[in-house]
């Protein structure tokens, strides 16, 4: 047994601590001090102990701006009042130089922290004042050019990062709002497009069906019926396309809900294949259905399964030539469903195989064939397979045919197979539980795989410190721990966290190298990296910046500081991710519009053309039939113009041409010339005031004025001679351009509503139009960095105004 030891000499230990420590009584009398601090402040133990802090450390009388004393007093007062630690910002607090060293004051910078030591009653017994001497660091920062270019870059980067973090935190809110707005717009847009396209479609379908029924078999010749049938087929195609487009946009917007119910999978599959038999037989296609399903009752979303099989079958029928063969194979075993649809069709080139499931990859003007065949229908299949937690694959040889395979879970519904389905889910579970190996410490509160929470990877080889950090941050985010740089890199690549917090000194791979690796990989370079380092280690500081570290945290850090820093970086990161989501959503919206408008045009053209041919072949049609045909033609024309407007709308910010100097006057003159007929019919007068030269896309501005002037002509008053005034005035750095009319106007409360797509304030019959004109105008102006608004009162005319940035000082190179 070891002999009884004396208690440790705490004073000696304290005094020899490497840090700068000073212990104060609540009345600010100094009672203990570390040697390091004595050295740093050029003072002695004797002159310190028993003296008041500020007697020994007054402000530098030669520095009238000195705030060291005042700030430190305030901090100490806070500690006494709150009984909590108080971290101060970096302070300039000059130190009196001993007479032996020349006297006067020496410029010094400190990073202080004051912590209370409480007695048994919870009262402050002592205050520990700890400081870091950061003079050298600050001087380095201040020295400027000749000292080191690196320092300048360092400072710039620090400032920039801080500013960005601050700004991003602010913008996060704005971005969130924009995203919500866009989401709403998208949903509304799809709903509106659906409604707008379906209405004229009804006008096409219903009369054609009525005509087909009336002609019946009694028709004199078969030919007119064929033509009408073609019209009908094309209208049905349109309807299917629109339904398909809406299906897929709903699916990708996550609006399709999964409803698993108990279904008889064999019967369902048979009946769907049966539905296609007529169509197959017409093309002399033979079909075969192979079923290997020991237990036909399964849990499955009926709608999704039906849509998948429907689309695979229509795809197969479309691409299989006459005399070909289509086989359907269904296998359900161990809760796993495999559905194969094979054809002897034209096949798909291997280069195109990866593309067949993409919905929006097609360039503008993609063909109907692609749209229906391997475009939308298959994109839908993929989307729906994903919703079923399944996959869909394709194998194909040119000229031989293709095989599409759907694999998804289909748990048996009856009890006999319950055990099997349990095994199935157990396997899934264990797959989910394959956690990253290098975790060295479990979180205090285990966090479920929660995708909504931000994730951070902490690389720290000190297990206790790592656990401490995890504890501290787990209320903010889900924390994954790595024991060294290599583990952290692996985790970062796998998890794509929102933040990496790393120690600098670590075995295997240090924090600097880790930063370099993360920043070098495009997939991870956007993830902010925060390095934990000792402030005094300037070398690693600079290396870290060079490697691309986003921020530093100096050890030892205050928990609050860590929390605040992480919180603000996570905010910034969230903003960044929101920005990406916003862009993606905007692109999807545009592409949807584009594909929709281009592909729908083709069947529509057929409807219009064949109606025309039918009419010309049947000159002596009865009045009712003739009226039906006119209804069809009108519906089609309305749809066609809507599609054109949609294309215009989608085209606005896809313009790849850079803006150039444009004389607005010239644009307005061109537009009024183009609208000549309409202006004459309306008996309108166009008054154009002085207009500026502006940097813009001429074609877009032309579209803008065409819409605005056309709008004013359309909504003219029947009792007044229409007068439309185009004018501009300068306001600061922008021009305000107005188009004012004396038409029927609108209620002031509708002044925002009119810019929303498909919002019509007036009865359809009287005013035709796509309902997109003003939405297009506003988008054009926003694209040019301006704003657009409208003012009106019922029957008092309307004023549409927009702002456009004024051109910078003329370069002198303007030409007509």
Partner 1 sequence: MNGQWQRCDIVVADDDEGDRYLIQKAMEDIGVNGDVHFFEDGQLLVERLTRQLTAPSNESRLPCLILLDLNMPRMDGRETLKIIKNHPDLKEIPVVVLTNSKNQDDIDGTYRNGANSFFTKPLNYSGLVDLMKLLKTYWLETVSLPQRAV
Residues of this chain that interact with partner 1 (CB under 8 A) are 230, 234, 346, 363-370, 373, 598, 601-602, 604-606, 608-610, 612-613, 637, 640, 647
Closest approach of Cβ 594 to partner 1, in Å? Answer: 9
Q: How far is the CB of 754 from partner 1 (least distance, A)?
A: 27
- Which residue number, 63 or 602, has a Cβ lying nearer to partner 1? 602
Nearest-angstrom CA–CA distance, 189 and 198: 14
Selection from 815, 641, 805, 650 nearest residue 737 by Cα: 805
Q: Please report how close the Cβ of residue 635 comes to partner 1 at its closest, in angstroms.
A: 13
Are the C-beta atoms of residues 538 and 136 closer than 8 Å to each other?
A: yes
- Taking the least distance from each CB to partner 1, the nearer of 385 and 776 is 776
Smallest distance from the beta carbon of 226 to partner 1, in angstroms? 10
Nearer to partner 1, 157 or 230 (CB): 230
CB 597 within 8 A of CB 650: yes
At residue 200, φ and ψ (nearest 5 deg) are -65, -30
In this complex, which beta carbon is closest to partner 1, that of residue 226 or of residue 275? 226
Strand, coil or helix: 144: coil
> Minimum Å distance from CB 648 to partner 1?
10
For partner 1, the closer of residues 208 and 466 by Cβ is: 208
Rank residues 606 and 784 by Cβ distance to partner 1 and give the closer one: 606
Q: Which is nearer to partner 1, 573 or 606 (CB)?
A: 606
Q: Where are the alpha helices (DSSP H) in 449-521?
A: 463-473, 485-495, 511-520
Three-state SS string over 606-654 comes to: HHHHHHHHHHHHCCCCCHHHHHHHHHHHHHHHHHHHHHHHHHHHHHHHH
Taking a C-beta distance cutoff of 8 angstroms, is the pair 502, 462 a contact?
no
**Which pair of tokens denotes residue 249?**
């946009």
Please report how close the Cβ of residue 634 comes to partner 1 at its closest, in angstroms.
12
Which helix (H) or strand (E) is 159 found in, with range? Answer: helix 149-215
Distance CA 792, CA 799 (A): 6
Calpha distance 76→54 (Å, rounded):
12
Q: Residue 113 or residue 346: which is nearer to partner 1 going by CB?
A: 346
In the complex with partner 1, the residue whose CB is nearer, 590 or 602, is 602
**Minimum CB distance to partner 1, residue 638 (Å):** 12
Other Cβ atoms closer than 10 A to 128: 17
Q: Is the dihedral of CA 467, 468, 472, 473 positive or negative?
A: negative
Distance in Å, CB of 805 to partner 1, minimum: 26
Sign of CA dihedral 230, 231, 237, 240: negative
Where does residue 553 rank: exposed (0-12), middle (13-18), buried (19+ CB within 10 A)? Answer: middle
CA atoms of 227 and 274, how far apart (whole Å): 28
For the record, the structure tokens of 684 come out as 């309108």
672 or 700, CB closer to partner 1? Answer: 700
Closest residue by Cα to residue 94 from 163, 24, 40: 40
Q: Which is nearer to partner 1, 366 or 717 (CB)?
A: 366
Minimum CB separation from partner 1 for residue 602, in Å?
Answer: 5
Closest approach of partner 1 to the CB of residue 367, in Å: 3
CA 121 vs CA 30, 81, 125, 804: distances in Å = 22, 15, 10, 68
Question: What is the closest distance, in whole angstroms, from the C-beta atom of residue 363 to partner 1 in the complex?
Answer: 7
Q: At closest approach, how far in Å is the CB of 296 from partner 1? A: 38
For partner 1, the closer CB: 384 or 610: 610
CB within 8 A of 166, min separation 6: which ones?
568
Q: Which of 85, 75, 97, 91 is nearest to 28 (CA)?
A: 75
CB of 302 to partner 1, least distance (A): 33
**CA atoms within a 13 Å half-sphere pointing along the CA-CB vector of 791:** 6
Q: Whole-angstrom Cα distance, residue 379 to residue 387?
A: 12
Indicate the DSSP class of residue 417.
G
Joined together, the tokens standing for residue 392 give 């869909």
Kindly tell me which of 637 and 756 has the beta carbon lying closer to partner 1. 637
Q: Smallest distance from the beta carbon of 752 to partner 1, in angstroms?
A: 31
Bridge-based pairing state of the strands 325-333 and 286-292: parallel
Least separation in angstroms between residue 373's CB and partner 1 is: 8
Q: In the complex with partner 1, which residue's Cβ is closer, 231 or 790?
A: 231
Q: Which is nearer to partner 1, 283 or 302 (CB)?
A: 283
Q: How far apart are CA 520 and CA 622, in angstroms?
A: 76
Least Å from the CB of residue 816 to partner 1: 24
Nearer residue to partner 1 within complex by CB, 601 or 784: 601
Q: To which residue do tokens 């990161």 refer?
A: 573
**Nearest-approach distance from CB 613 to partner 1, in angstroms:** 6
Q: Which CB sits closer to partner 1, 569 or 608?
A: 608
In 60-207, DSSP assigns E strands to 86-87, 91-92, 95-96, 105-106, 109-118, 124-133
Task: State in angstroms the smallest separation of the CB of 401 from partner 1.
Answer: 15
Nearer to partner 1, 294 or 321 (CB): 321
Residue with tokens 């993409």: 358
Q: Angle at the Cα of 716 (from 715 to 721), degrees rounded to 5?
A: 170
* Torsion angle of the four alpha carbons 515, 517, 519, 521, in this order, in degrees rounded to the nearest 10: -160
Tell me, rounded to whole angstroms, the distance of Cα 205 from its chain centroid: 39
Q: What angle do CA 770, 776, 778 make, to 5 degrees?
A: 135
């Amino acid at each position: 047994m070891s002999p009884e030891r004396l208690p440790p000499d705490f004073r000696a230990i304290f005094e020899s601590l490497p840090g700068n420590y000073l212990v104060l009584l609540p009345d600010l009398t100094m009672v203990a001090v570390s040697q390091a601090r004595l050295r740093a402040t050029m003072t002695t133990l004797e002159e310190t102990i028993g003296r008041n802090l500020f007697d020994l450390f007054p402000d530098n009388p030669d520095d009238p701006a000195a705030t060291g004393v005042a700030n430190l007093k305030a901090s100490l007062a806070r500690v006494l009042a709150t009984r909590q630690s108080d971290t101060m910002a970096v302070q300039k607090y000059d130190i009196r130089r001993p007479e032996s060293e020349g006297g006067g004051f020496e410029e010094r910078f400190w990073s202080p922290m004051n912590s209370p030591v409480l007695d048994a009653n919870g009262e402050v017994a002592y205050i520990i004042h700890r400081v870091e001497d950061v003079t050298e660091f600050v001087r380095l920062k201040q020295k400027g050019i000749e000292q080191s270019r690196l320092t300048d870059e360092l400072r710039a980067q620090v400032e920039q990062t801080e500013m960005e973090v601050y700004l991003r935190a602010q913008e996060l809110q704005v971005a969130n709002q924009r995203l919500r707005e866009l989401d709403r717009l998208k949903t509304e847009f799809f709903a509106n497009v659906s409604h707008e396209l379906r209405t004229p479609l009804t006008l096409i379908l219903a009369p054609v069906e009525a005509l087909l029924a009336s002609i019946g078999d009694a028709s004199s010749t078969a030919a007119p019926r064929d033509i009408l049938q073609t019209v009908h087929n094309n209208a049905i195609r349109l309807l299917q396309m629109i339904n398909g487009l809406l299906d897929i946009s709903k699916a990708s917007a996550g609006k399709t809900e999964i409803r698993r119910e108990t279904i008889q999978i064999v019967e369902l599959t048979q009946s769907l294949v049966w539905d296609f038999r007529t169509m197959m037989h017409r093309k002399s296609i033979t079909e075969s259905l192979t079923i290997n399903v020991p237990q036909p009752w399964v849990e499955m979303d009926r709608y999704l399964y039906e849509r998948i099989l429907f689309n695979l079958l229509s795809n197969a029928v479309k691409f299989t030539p006459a005399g070909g063969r289509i086989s359907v194979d269904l296998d359900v075993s161990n809760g796993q469903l495999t559905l194969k649809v094979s054809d002897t069709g034209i096949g798909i080139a291997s280069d195109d195989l990866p593309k067949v499931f993409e919905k929006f990859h097609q360039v503008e003007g993609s063909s109907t064939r692609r749209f229906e065949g391997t475009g939308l229908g298959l994109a839908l299949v993929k989307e729906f397979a994903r919703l079923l937690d399944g996959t869909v694959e394709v194998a194909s040889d040119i000229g031989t045919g293709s095989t599409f395979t759907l694999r998804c879970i289909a748990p048996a519904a009856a009890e006999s197979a319950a055990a099997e389905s349990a095994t199935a889910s157990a396997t899934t579970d264990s797959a989910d539980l394959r956690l990253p190996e290098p975790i060295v410490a479990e979180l205090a509160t285990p966090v479920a795989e929660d995708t909504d929470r931000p994730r951070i990877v902490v690389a720290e080889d000190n297990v206790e410190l790592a656990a401490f950090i995890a504890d501290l941050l787990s209320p903010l985010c889900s924390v994954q721990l790595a024991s060294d740089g290599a583990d952290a890199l692996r985790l970062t690549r796998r998890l794509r966290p929102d933040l990496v917090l790393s120690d600098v000194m670590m075995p295997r791979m240090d924090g600097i190298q880790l930063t370099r690796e993360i920043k070098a990989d495009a997939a991870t370079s956007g993830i902010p990296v925060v390095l934990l380092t000792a402030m005094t280690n300037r070398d690693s500081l600079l290396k870290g910046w060079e490697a691309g570290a986003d921020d530093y945290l100096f050890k030892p850090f205050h928990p609050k500081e860590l929390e605040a820093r992480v919180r603000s970086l996570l905010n910034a990161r969230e903003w960044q991710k929101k920005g990406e989501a916003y862009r993606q959503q905007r692109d999807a919206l545009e592409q949807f519009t584009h594909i929709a408008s281009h592909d729908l045009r083709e069947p529509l053209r057929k409807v219009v053309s064949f109606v025309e041919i039918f009419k010309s072949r049947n000159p002596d049609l009865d009045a009712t039939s003739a009226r039906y045909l006119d209804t069809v033609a009108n519906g089609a024309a309305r749809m066609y113009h809507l599609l054109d407007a949609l294309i215009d709308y989608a085209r606005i910010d896809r313009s790849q041409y850079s803006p150039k100097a444009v004389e607005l006057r010239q644009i307005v003159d061109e537009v009024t010339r183009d609208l000549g007929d309409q202006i004459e019919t309306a008996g309108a007068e166009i008054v154009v005031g002085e207009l500026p030269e502006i940097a813009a896309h001429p074609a877009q501005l032309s579209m803008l004025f065409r819409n605005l002037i056309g709008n004013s002509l359309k909504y003219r008053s029947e009792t007044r001679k229409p007068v439309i005034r185009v004018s501009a005035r300068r306001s600061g750095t922008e021009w305000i351009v107005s188009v004012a009319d004396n038409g029927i106007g609108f209620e002031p409360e509708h002044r925002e509503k009119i810019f929303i797509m498909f919002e019509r304030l007036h009865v359809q019959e009287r005013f035709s139009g796509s309902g997109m004109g003003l939405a297009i105008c506003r988008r054009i102006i926003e694209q040019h960095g301006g704003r657009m608004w409208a003012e009106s009162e019922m029957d008092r005319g309307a004023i549409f105004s927009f702002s456009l940035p004024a051109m910078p000082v003329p370069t002198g190179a303007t030409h007509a």
